[in-house]
Structure 1
Amino acid sequence: MASILLLTVLPLVLLLLTCVPAQRDGDSDDGDILLDAKSRLGDPAGKLSDWNRLSNPCNWTGITCHTANHSILSIDLTNYGISGRFPTEFCRVSSLETLKLGWNYINGTVSSSDLAPCHRLRKLDLSSNSLVGTLPEFEPEFMFLIELDLSQNNFSGPIPPSFGRLPVLRVLNLYSNLISGTIPGFIAGLTELTELRLALNQFDRGPIPLGIGNLTNLEYIWLAYTNLTGVIPASVGNLLRLKHLDLSNNAIDGPIPESIGRLRSVEQIELYANRISGDLPESLGNLTSLRQFDASENALTGELPETFAGLHLEFIGLNDNFFRGEIPAVMAMNPNLVDLKIFNNSFSGEIPQYLGRYSDLEEIDVSKNLFSGGIPPDLCMRGSLQRLVAFRNRFTGEIPASLGDCDSLYYVRIQENELSGVVPDRFWGLSKMYHLELSNNGFQGPMSSSISTASNLTKLLISGNNFSGEIPPEICQLKELTMLDAGMNRFSGSIPACIGRLSKLEQIDLQGNILSGQIPVGSWKDLTELNLSMNDLSGEIPSQFGELPVLTYLDLSSNHLTGEIPAELANLNLNIFNLSGNDLTGPIPMAFASPVYLPSLAGNPNLCSSSGTTDLVLFPKCPLVTAKGKIHSRAALYTFVVLIVGLVLLAGLFWFRRARSTRTGKFKRGPSWKSTSFQRVGFDEAEIHDCLTDENLIGSGGSGRVYRVMLKTGQTVAVKRLWTCPRGPEPEREFQAEVETLGRVRHGNIVKLLFCCSAEGFKVLVYEYMANGSLREALHGDKANPPLDWDRRVGIAVGAAQGLAYLHHDCVPAIVHRDVKPSNILLDSEFRAHVGDFGLARVLPKEAGDCVTTHVAGSCGYIAPEYAYTLKINEKSDVYSFGVVLLELVTGRKAIDPLFGENKDIVKWVREEVAGKELDLKLVIDPRLQQMSACEYEEMVRVLRVGILCTSYLPINRPSMRLVVDLLRGHRDVSFFLPDGQKQY
């Protein structure tokens, strides 16, 4: 009986034992598989060093095991710096559910056969690698895949149909690839999707799939830069769980569907840079969760619906549209409104006067509209307002007194309106203010002495008003002031002598006032422009002006100045020089004895042409005087004869050289010769041509040769002679781009184009000379010994950023440089940065944010990733390139350096070095800058973070250049703007 029982029970026990999972302690077979995969991968940082046979695989870096049976569930090697082909060996781990290899250097292709063993996976992430080829097909066995991320690679071709047969897929990320074809309709069959990100691809022009409304579980849609056309389908209103909708930067037209009002969960809608037309639907008022709405750069019309205006908005961007009508008053009652940006529109009417009373407004930008009425008095009632930008409108009335209590305010631009009255005392002295621009209004009254407390002020621009009274001496306490423009007002009295102590001044413009007394003198080593014209100034011209190292603009005309012209002014490299309309006497210095200076000296009847000078025909010759004060006629006659003989000899020499040049073909002026002066210059094309010799050659590059030329006037200039045929059409294109761009811009951080000339086989551009060459030479070349100190590096960064910000934000239309790099950032004698070389620059179309090019232009290591495959450029392309420059300034390394390893540039190297750890500059800092103060270290961290932010892979995450200037100056916290994935930086 017992034997029978045993025979009956034993098989059941054995069967049960086979059903119990074995206790595996990191299965040795799986460990062998992982080690086999590791042997085929590059691991330069040694992060997989603990993968060895001496330890349990469950304890290895990046490995997660089941808590009960210790089987391997997950391999996560995200951002480990590994390289090589796709490791198919990992798919042989039978228990594997998650494989994450994103942000590495995996290359080659991924085929269907490579992935076939991975059919048990639930999550697959291969994002941000260097994979190429077509997207892999997924076999029917992939029944469990819920997350698929192949974004930020170089996959090409259409999306395979098998992607539409993944039954439980929730996340599909394919953005930032080279995918073509149209967005397929079978996407609408993935009904479990919660995230769909296909942005930044080269899809063919096509519509949004009509069936998109079937994806009722969607929470996130990102289809920017996907060549979408047609209208937004009404079925989008079925996406009741949607929180983020981004269809920006496409060619979508037609109206916004009324059904959009059913998206009760949506928090962010981005429709900017399309061709959407019609009115905003009233149903937008139903979107009670909406925090961000951006419909800028479209063709929308009509007024903002009142129902929409009362929403809980955090950000509104409606810029660059054709909106007309008033902003509804309900908008002003929004309790969550933080940033209001509606610039570059045709809005009219008044801004609600209680805007800001119920919300923590931080920034309001309504510039370039047709607004009228007064500035709302409650903009800063909650004490949060930082930026007020309202220029080029029709605002009237006074600056509200309440803004004088706005201690958070640091940036104000309300120029070119019809504002009037007296500026409140406290407003002048806001302690955080660093940019105050009130120009071209009707303000009156004095400049308050309370301005002394505006200790951070760098730019005070108040020209074109009716300000009166004396300039208070308290202005001398603004130690950070770089620009003082108070011209065309009614200021009287003397210019405070203490203004000479403001050593950071770069521009002083006090023209068109009633100022009297003598001209003050300062040690203005950065001063480039001094304009005191049209006043009642008296006394002599200070000879110390000749010692100002970078002064290029000097206008003292229409005053009552006396005495002689100081000979020391000949030391200056002046582009603008005007002493006309004064009471100057004595001989004209030889440096100005040229017809080109006649207008600059006119209106001084007591000036005379010095001995030997015959070019200044409007002025009498200075007489030769004996010791007794009588004219020595015999000496005068002798001098006259000598002059005549000298002129004859000079004329003969000139004729001989010209004839010789013509015979040899060296120089010949003819009817095809075209010359243009952009500044007042004392030379012509003949003088320039004769100086283009090998001994004057200082550089040669892809666009031509650069010469250092010392002119007869004593001025030193830089001359670039462009390559001509047979090198193709590019020199002509670059020549025109340079001339058209630099011929119309003027900024202290943009290199000045003085002169250009062209003829068959000869094209030259003449610039102001930069004594310290380029940033590339100063940072990486022979001039880098001794190395640039940190103060100079950060000064160069701020200067170059200001120049680019001017191109992007102040030029109309905006200009994109397209070739920002250290060799195109030039340094003058004081190491001030000047952005140069505009041969690749492009003007952005007025009606669209991008310019489409036919080929990639720029320099390796500085080209924004999206530009390389979309051929679309905008300001964010320059921002990326500038971010690379910032990383070079901190690290001292070039953008491309063999020390980084294979397939790495400075961006990837820096990110790898600081990823996943608290930022330690010792990992990346230029070893030549090891000795630094705590303050310098903090500033270095800030600049590095700004560089990382500027080089964000996605353009949407990069700041504007205007914001970059603020971040570099420390006026805003860079960590606030870093995406979540970069917060550790």
Structure 2
Amino acid sequence: MSIPSLPSLLLLFLLLPFHVISQPTTQNDQNTLLNLKHFWSNPPSLNHWNQSSNPCSWPEITCTATTITGINLANKEIYGTVPPLICDLKNITSLDLNYNYINGSFPTALYNCTNLQYLDLSQNFLVGRIPDDISRLSSELWYLNLFNNNFTGDIPVSISRLSKLSSLRLDQNLFNGSFPEEIGYLNELEELNLAYNDFTPSRLPPSFTQLKKIRYFYMAEANLIGELPGNLSGMATLELLDLSGNQINGSIPSDLFVLKKLTRVFLYRNNLTGGIPDSIQALNMEIIDLSENKLTGKIPDGFANLMSLTNLTLMFNQLSGEIPVGVDRLPRLQDVRIFDNKLSGPLPPDFGRYSELEIFEVNLNQFTGNLPENLCYGGKLIGLIVFNNSLSGEIPKSLENCSSLKKFWVSGNRFSGAIPDGLWKVQKLETMIMSGNLFSGQLPQVLAPELSTLEISNNRFSGQIPTGVSSWTSLRVFKASYNLLDGVIPQDLTALANLGTLLLDGNKFTGSLPATIVSWSSLNILNLSRNQLTGQIPAGLEFLEALTALDLSRNYLSGQIPSQLGGRLVFLDLSANDLTGIIPSQLNNGAFDKSFFNNPGLCSNNPSLGLNSCSSRSKTRSSNKTSARFVAIIASIAVILLLLVLLTRYVIVLYRRRKYGLNSKWKFTSFQKLNFTESKILPRLTEKNVIGQGGSGKVYRIAINRSGDVVAVKKISSKNNLDQKLEKEFRAEVKILSIIRHSNIVKLMGCISCDNSKLLVYEYMENRSLDRWLHRNQAPSSYGLNGSVCHAVLDWPKRLNIALGAAQGLCYMHHDFSPTVIHRDVKSSNVLLDSEFNAKIADFGLARILAKESELNTTSAFAGSFGYMAPECAHTTKVNEKMDVYSFGVILLELTTGKEASNGNEHSSLAEWAWQQTVGGAPIVDALDNECMDPMYLNEMTGVFKLGLKCTSKTPTNRPSMKEVCQILLRYSIAAKMGKNGADVADHFPLLKFENV
């Protein structure tokens, strides 16, 4: 008798619990079920299991006549192991325990369930190896699902002796050994899933091509290497093939698309080369994803015959030539992602006319001609992304009615003319990026209600900012640099409370700046340089708490600089104006040495600013006009004032001695040769010098001499003696930093201590912490705030350099320093940046020195910060390097996405959000930070994002070491400096080659 098809059996099994033959069972079977319930501590979900009811009426139980044949306890919050008594139900054929909390090793007690045909133990917490004698399970077993457990080691050969298996799922475990080629001898197998396991590097066995009934074959991210077997046509029934995320090389077998039943192919993220096979017989193909390989040649003409095709994904390859005629007329085509290739010629005109197109991404190619007129003909278009081509002409007027459109990104082309009026107002539109074209016309009174990003820099837009600008309430980024905009900057523009970035430089604005600007509560970056602005700098700028980057250079501004301006500024450029007066004290330091040039009326007594000295300008009043009586009065007043000064100084000395403990016994321990003592530090621990507040105390910026040398001092103190936790953190930091020396680890210069206070003295890092630049502050670059610069200073090369520096610091701690040091609190706020944006790891209060192999490496303290902690921190006290790797992976995701670690979306952290984006099939480019999106570095950004994913793998063994991370980042760093992509550079630096992440 033939076995029914897999879908039929699955459907039958799912329906069985709801189609119960309500017949009485034996008392023994009922007792067994109640004992099973008791063994699992009576879970609330089984409260209806009792002596007074018939088990065949219980929804979890399937009966035939008077016999119990099935148990379905999926998602019932069951804890514990699987007891032997379950096989006292002699006639049980199906057992489903998936999505529970079952632990321990594989339940060999199930060997005694001799009639078992269907076994699902997926999504539990089973550990250890699958037993070598697993073939002792029932010879009738056709369904075995162990998906998403924690099994390790090899998959035993004996599993191939379960000859009736139709479905075998072992995906998402922790297998780190081999899988047997004998699986290829399972003649009844229709579904095989070994994906997402870290097997030892292996080729795909030729025996697998002998699976004559296989329909669904998954081995994504299974560490496959080498070339694909040539005889794929032997898998004649194959419908889905997923081998993505491996290291498969060579060409795509010529017989792949000969498989007539094939509907979905996923070979993305491998190292495949050569062309795409021309022979296309799988005419029912629905999804083709060959992205992120090294494929060359043309898109086959046969793709135009795939009438069922919904998704064509060929991005990140080296394909060339034109899109075949007819592809644009496929009736079910929804998703076209062919960006980052070398495709050329005009875009076929009928894209969107014959199908309900949703995604159209052809950016980073060499396309010419006009945009297709009917891209949104079906009314479903969500993303239109064509940046960095050579497209020209006007934007189709039909897009005015595209109510589904969310992202419109056409920068870096040769488009011209006006933007269709209705396009500005599409209800769901969130992003419009049109920089670097020849667009003209005026800005609209009304924008789309959800539009958050508007970038129109380097075009020919003209006229004034409209009076209706106050209605643009969702706008967060407005970049309009280098256009022909004129008139005054309207007061209504300051009403945009969500605005974070405003770039209006390089236009023709005149008049004064708005007088009232306190509504700009979220503004991080303001660039109004290279205009014709006049009047004074508004005092309101000093009250914008989020503002950290301000460029007003090359205007005609006059008057004095507001006295409180600069409290939070990281970048400031007021050069080439007509400003006068003294530089405010908080700006009067070397950090702003290029901020005031070409303002002849400004002065400063700080020579590093390169301005005239204020003392040389002071005019001495003529003594000849002073009467003797006046001199006498002045002399009397001077005597009185002198006495008051002396008295005041005496009181201050007493106060400082008490406040700063100068009467206490301080101990100063230096870890290098220093030219200062505690007497230079203690009196300056005042509120005006506070630059940060941590969990253990405040951080001060202290000038130690008149030359402008500065140190950072962290004060750890309590009202009484230091509590045990703070003392422990202090000792940990001193113990580690006093002996560790590395250019990417912050330098501890010394420590000062007394009974109730501890001071740590560090080198001062001018650019503070990374998180201030990525999230709260988004500071600009030293060469201005041009619209093409990402997060101003933090363009991609700087971000990549920061990532590499921080990685090198951690790598030294993990691999090159003895004994090994684990940081345990790696996060962007603990990555400090010097004046050149070199990164240094800081804050070692939670760090631990790893014990010897013979000792337990555990800690009793729960350490880390939300969003950065590895999943295993919640259930283990064992400390290892992979915890730091996870945290560093989150920093990589922050650098590439611009998001905060704890803010992936409303339901998840950044790491979880990034994994969901990837698993959900969204293109990586959608996750990357728009503020930093430079097509020149898109390969590197994508690679670092994927490295972040690899580092944040939920399974520690799947994470790379910091040494491997450094090699990968170094490769990308070299690539960025040489103007090549990472793959090209790897060919010249063989030691830097790495496995796909």
User: 2-side partners of 1:163 and 1:142: how far apart?
Assistant: 12
Go from structure 1 to structure 2 and tell me whether the alpha carbon gap of 1:886 and 1:551 turns closer, same or farther (over 3 Å shift). Answer: closer
Any residues of structure 2 matched to 1:826-905 within 5 Å, and which? 859-861=869-871
Go from structure 1 to structure 2 and tell me whether the alpha carbon gap of 1:222 and 1:576 turns closer, same or farther (over 3 Å shift). Answer: same
Specify the alignment match of 1:147 in structure 2: 143
User: 2-side partners of 1:633 and 1:412: how far apart?
Assistant: 78
Whether the 8 Å contact between 2:903 and 2:910 is mirrored in structure 1 is no
Go from structure 1 to structure 2 and tell me whether the alpha carbon gap of 1:615 and 1:225 turns closer, same or farther (over 3 Å shift). Answer: closer
The count of residues paired between Structure 1 and Structure 2 equals: 777
Specify the alignment match of 2:125 in structure 1: 130
User: 1-side partners of 2:354 and 2:384: how far apart?
Assistant: 17
Specify the alignment match of 2:46 in structure 1: 48
Any residues of structure 2 matched to 1:363-402 within 5 Å, and which? 363-402=359-398
- Residue 358, structure 1, aligned to residue 368, structure 2: no
Deviation at 1:56, TM superposition (A): 2.2
Q: Per the alignment, in what secondary structure is the counterpart of residue 142 of structure 1?
A: coil
Deviation at 1:567, TM superposition (A): 1.6
Specify the alignment match of 1:458 in structure 2: 452
Any residues of structure 2 matched to 1:359-508 within 5 Å, and which? 359-443=355-439, 445-449=440-444, 451-508=445-502
Specify the alignment match of 1:583 in structure 2: 578
Q: Of residues 525, 528, 531 in structure 2, which corresponds to 1:529?
A: 525
Deviation at 1:314, TM superposition (A): 1.5
Deviation at 1:621, TM superposition (A): 4.2
Q: Which stretch has the larger CA shift, 581-590 or 224-233?
A: 581-590
User: 2-side partners of 1:607 and 1:886: how far apart?
Assistant: 40
Alpha-carbon displacement from aligned partner over 1:473-509 (angstroms, at most 9, x marks no partner): 2333211111211111221221222112112211211
Deviation at 1:594, TM superposition (A): 4.0
User: 1-side partners of 2:30 and 2:84: how far apart?
Assistant: 15
Q: Which stretch has the larger CA shift, 944-953 or 160-169?
A: 944-953
Specify the alignment match of 2:547 in structure 1: 551
RMSD: 5.4
Whether the 8 Å contact between 2:711 and 2:763 is mirrored in structure 1 is no
Whether the 8 Å contact between 1:886 and 1:944 is mirrored in structure 2 is no
Alpha-carbon displacement from aligned partner over 1:40-97 (angstroms, at most 9, x marks no partner): 2245x5112223323322233522212xx23111111111111112222111211101
Specify the alignment match of 1:511 in structure 2: 505
Any residues of structure 2 matched to 1:704-719 within 5 Å, and which? 707-709=698-700
Runs of 5+ unmatched residues, structure 2: 1-20, 636-640, 646-661, 716-728, 748-759, 776-789, 811-822, 831-838, 844-862, 876-880, 930-997
Specify the alignment match of 2:251 in structure 1: 255
Go from structure 1 to structure 2 and tell me whether the alpha carbon gap of 1:697 and 1:540 turns closer, same or farther (over 3 Å shift). Answer: closer
User: 2-side partners of 1:399 and 1:738: how far apart?
Assistant: 52
Specify the alignment match of 2:345 in structure 1: 349
User: 2-side partners of 1:337 and 1:814: how far apart?
Assistant: 42
User: 2-side partners of 1:954 and 1:119: how far apart?
Assistant: 43
- Residue 121, structure 1, aligned to residue 109, structure 2: no
User: 2-side partners of 1:954 and 1:52: how far apart?
Assistant: 45
Q: Per the alignment, in what secondary structure is the counterpart of residue 152 of structure 1?
A: coil
Whether the 8 Å contact between 2:712 and 2:763 is mirrored in structure 1 is no
Deviation at 1:222, TM superposition (A): 0.6
Go from structure 1 to structure 2 and tell me whether the alpha carbon gap of 1:889 and 1:494 turns closer, same or farther (over 3 Å shift). Answer: closer
Any residues of structure 2 matched to 1:905-944 within 5 Å, and which? 943-944=906-907
Counterpart of 1:35 in structure 2: which amino acid?
A: L
Specify the alignment match of 1:31 in structure 2: 30
Deviation at 1:214, TM superposition (A): 2.3
User: 1-side partners of 2:601 and 2:796: how far apart?
Assistant: 48
Counterpart of 1:859 in structure 2: which amino acid?
A: M
Specify the alignment match of 2:558 in structure 1: 562
Whether the 8 Å contact between 1:199 and 1:226 is mirrored in structure 2 is yes
- Residue 601, structure 1, aligned to residue 596, structure 2: yes
Specify the alignment match of 2:199 in structure 1: 203
Whether the 8 Å contact between 2:156 and 2:180 is mirrored in structure 1 is no
Deviation at 1:156, TM superposition (A): 2.1
Q: Per the alignment, in what secondary structure is the counterpart of residue 539 of structure 1?
A: coil
Runs of 5+ unmatched residues, structure 1: 1-21, 647-656, 671-685, 740-759, 776-801, 828-835, 841-855, 891-941, 967-985
Q: Of residues 168, 171, 191 in structure 1, which corresponds to 2:167?
A: 171
User: 2-side partners of 1:630 and 1:600: how far apart?
Assistant: 41
User: 1-side partners of 2:228 and 2:918: how far apart?
Assistant: 24
Any residues of structure 2 matched to 1:260-339 within 5 Å, and which? 260-283=256-279, 285-311=280-306, 312-339=308-335
Any residues of structure 2 matched to 1:967-982 within 5 Å, and which? none
Alpha-carbon displacement from aligned partner over 1:558-596 (angstroms, at most 9, x marks no partner): 1111222222325x3111112221122334434434455
Whether the 8 Å contact between 1:272 and 1:297 is mirrored in structure 2 is yes
Q: Per the alignment, in what secondary structure is the counterpart of residue 80 of structure 2?
A: strand
Specify the alignment match of 1:679 in structure 2: none
Q: Per the alignment, in what secondary structure is the counterpart of residue 559 of structure 1?
A: coil
Whether the 8 Å contact between 1:364 and 1:388 is mirrored in structure 2 is yes
Alpha-carbon displacement from aligned partner over 1:517-572 (angstroms, at most 9, x marks no partner): 111132111111111111101111111111111211111111111222222325x3
Whether the 8 Å contact between 2:504 and 2:527 is mirrored in structure 1 is yes
Q: Which stretch has the larger CA shift, 627-636 or 951-960?
A: 627-636
Whether the 8 Å contact between 1:718 and 1:768 is mirrored in structure 2 is no
User: 1-side partners of 2:769 and 2:627: how far apart?
Assistant: 45
Whether the 8 Å contact between 2:194 and 2:222 is mirrored in structure 1 is yes
Whether the 8 Å contact between 1:183 and 1:209 is mirrored in structure 2 is no
Whether the 8 Å contact between 2:712 and 2:761 is mirrored in structure 1 is no
Deviation at 1:426, TM superposition (A): 2.8
User: 2-side partners of 1:247 and 1:874: how far apart?
Assistant: 28
Go from structure 1 to structure 2 and tell me whether the alpha carbon gap of 1:118 and 1:888 turns closer, same or farther (over 3 Å shift). Answer: farther
Deviation at 1:331, TM superposition (A): 1.6
Counterpart of 1:334 in structure 2: which amino acid?
A: L
Q: Of residues 56, 59, 71 in structure 2, which corresponds to 1:75?
A: 71
Deviation at 1:128, TM superposition (A): 1.1
Go from structure 1 to structure 2 and tell me whether the alpha carbon gap of 1:632 and 1:408 turns closer, same or farther (over 3 Å shift). Answer: farther
Q: Of residues 63, 66, 88 in structure 2, which corresponds to 1:65?
A: 63
Deviation at 1:39, TM superposition (A): 2.6
Whether the 8 Å contact between 2:902 and 2:908 is mirrored in structure 1 is no
Go from structure 1 to structure 2 and tell me whether the alpha carbon gap of 1:32 and 1:716 turns closer, same or farther (over 3 Å shift). Answer: farther
Any residues of structure 2 matched to 1:575-724 within 5 Å, and which? 575-594=570-589, 596-609=591-604, 617-619=611-613, 621=615, 665=670, 668=673, 707-709=698-700
User: 1-side partners of 2:196 and 2:315: how far apart?
Assistant: 22
Deviation at 1:121, TM superposition (A): 0.4
Go from structure 1 to structure 2 and tell me whether the alpha carbon gap of 1:730 and 1:148 turns closer, same or farther (over 3 Å shift). Answer: farther
TM-score by length of 1: 0.68
Any residues of structure 2 matched to 1:799-818 within 5 Å, and which? none
Whether the 8 Å contact between 1:864 and 1:881 is mirrored in structure 2 is no
Whether the 8 Å contact between 1:593 and 1:616 is mirrored in structure 2 is no
- State the identity as a percent: 30
Deviation at 1:191, TM superposition (A): 1.3
Whether the 8 Å contact between 1:491 and 1:513 is mirrored in structure 2 is yes
Go from structure 1 to structure 2 and tell me whether the alpha carbon gap of 1:771 and 1:209 turns closer, same or farther (over 3 Å shift). Answer: closer
Go from structure 1 to structure 2 and tell me whether the alpha carbon gap of 1:617 and 1:877 turns closer, same or farther (over 3 Å shift). Answer: closer
Go from structure 1 to structure 2 and tell me whether the alpha carbon gap of 1:813 and 1:300 turns closer, same or farther (over 3 Å shift). Answer: farther
Whether the 8 Å contact between 2:828 and 2:891 is mirrored in structure 1 is no
Deviation at 1:357, TM superposition (A): 1.9
